[in-house]
Structure 1
């Protein structure tokens, strides 16, 4: 069965964002190094799928590269314990929003350091 192997996101500081994802979701850095077309990339995830966190400009990356909906709306992450992940998000100083209970699960959203939106969902 096909599955989503990775999502590539532009970030200002791949190591910082990778560390956040590791603290929130228990992921690990699978690879890091120079990007094929310049800049650098960190792959963070589990053994099956990951986020490729890319930067070319680093801290000089223009703010317009991080506008919601351009180039995507959000990344969805399925978790078992939604409340535990939300507590980690809050502990990082990030703000959960748009909580929802729906059939068959629950969810909330948060923005990372660069304004990329994540949906965290649980079907338990």
Structure 2
């Protein structure tokens, strides 16, 4: 079995607490750590025992935005119940789009509150 996996992705967001609450709502994750971060910013690590998102907000608003696709297009998550997660995305006031069903699984996308694109896929 391969031992290489992505442990975390570090995303710059406007509100680490809001994004952490969304990830807890969607995936049942928990806050692993939170506190002061580089350059006077703030970070929250939200995930499970193995993987997490590092959600960072710098102290200066102008430093918070990266144009879409530079350097990131989207972050993908595998879930057991695609329909349940889609319902949670909609309940959070976000709009699922790009539904498709091709090998190896069904999927949809959504943009979070900061315009970060996420792909949700199920192989079931």
Q: TM-score range by the shorter chain?
A: over 0.9
Runs of 4+ that moved beyond 4 A: none
In the aligned structure 1, how far is the partner of 2:102 from the partner of 2:66?
29
Deviation at 1:61, TM superposition (A): 4.3
Alpha carbons 2:40, 2:59 under 8 Å: kept: no
| TM-score, normalised relative to structure 1 | 0.93
Q: Name the TM-score, length of structure 2 as normaliser.
A: 0.93
Distance 1:20 1:66 in 2: 20
Unpaired stretches in structure 2, ≥5 consecutive residues: none
Kindly state the Cα deviation for residue 66 of structure 1 after the two structures are TM-superposed: 4.2
* Aligned equivalent of 1:25: 27
Match of 2:108 in 1: 108
Aligned residues: 122
Per the alignment, residue 92 of structure 1 pairs with 92
Q: Could you list the per-position Cα deviations for residues 3-32 of structure 1 after superposition, in whole angstroms to 9, with x for gaps in the alignment?
A: 100000000010010001100111100000
Residue aligned with 1:53, SS: strand
Alignment of 1:71 with 2:71, yes or no, is yes
In the alignment, the residues of structure 2 paired with residue 2 and residue 62 of structure 1 have an alpha-carbon distance, to the nearest angstrom, of: 32
- What's the Cα RMSD here? 1.4
SS of 2:38's equivalent in the other structure is coil
